[in-house]
């Protein structure tokens, strides 16, 4: 990761520390069929990740999950989402937590064009994930698809 990207990411997290005592985010495991998951690649951090982002003040985790899914992908939740777990993301800060939801019922709209935040996204067969899938994403997929023990850490 370039020095500029690392500095930008650190400054962004420091801003949250000054304005929020704890940060809470959501990620979405959107599963198509039995074996495909939707992943995104950001412009500001390397690798492939589950779609998601921060929970806004006054917003529920479930509402944030639906909003982030709609903002970052062509997918729209059409049925119930199931909470997979809540994870401590110590690599971001000592105060960061991530709620992970599983969504199997969704509609697919037109492809989302790349922008300043999301470079690309798409469905990938879980046995043929792209290079650079983040460790947290790989662990969540192993928990969901391979029944690996659920870790409390991202």
Q: Where are the domains of the chain?
A: 3-146
Alpha carbon distance, N-terminus to C-terminus of the chain: 20
**pLDDT, tens digit, 9 for 90 and up, residues 96-143:** 899 999 999 999 999 999 999 999 999 999 999 999 999 999 999 999
- Total-model pTM: 0.84
What dihedral do alpha carbons 121, 45, 78, 31 form, nearest 10°? 70
- Superfamily of domain 3-146 in the CATH hierarchy: Nucleoside Triphosphate Pyrophosphohydrolase (3.90.79.10)
């Amino acid at each position: 990761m370039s020095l500029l990207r690392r500095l930008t990411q650190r400054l962004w997290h420091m801003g949250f520390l000054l304005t929020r005592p704890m940060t809470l985010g959501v990620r979405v495991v959107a599963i198509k069929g039995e074996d495909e998951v939707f992943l995104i690649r950001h412009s500001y951090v390397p690798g492939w990740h589950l779609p998601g982002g921060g929970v806004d003040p006054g917003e529920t985790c479930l509402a944030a999950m639906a909003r982030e899914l709609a903002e970052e992908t062509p997918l729209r939740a059409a049925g119930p989402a199931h909470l997979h777990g809540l994870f401590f993301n110590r690599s971001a800060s000592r105060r960061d937590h991530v709620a992970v939801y599983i969504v199997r019922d969704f509609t697919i709209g037109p492809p989302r064009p790349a922008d300043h935040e999301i470079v690309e996204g798409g469905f990938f067969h879980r046995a043929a994930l792209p290079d650079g899938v983040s460790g947290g994403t790989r662990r969540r997929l192993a928990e969901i698809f391979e029944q690996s023990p659920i870790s409390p850490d991202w």
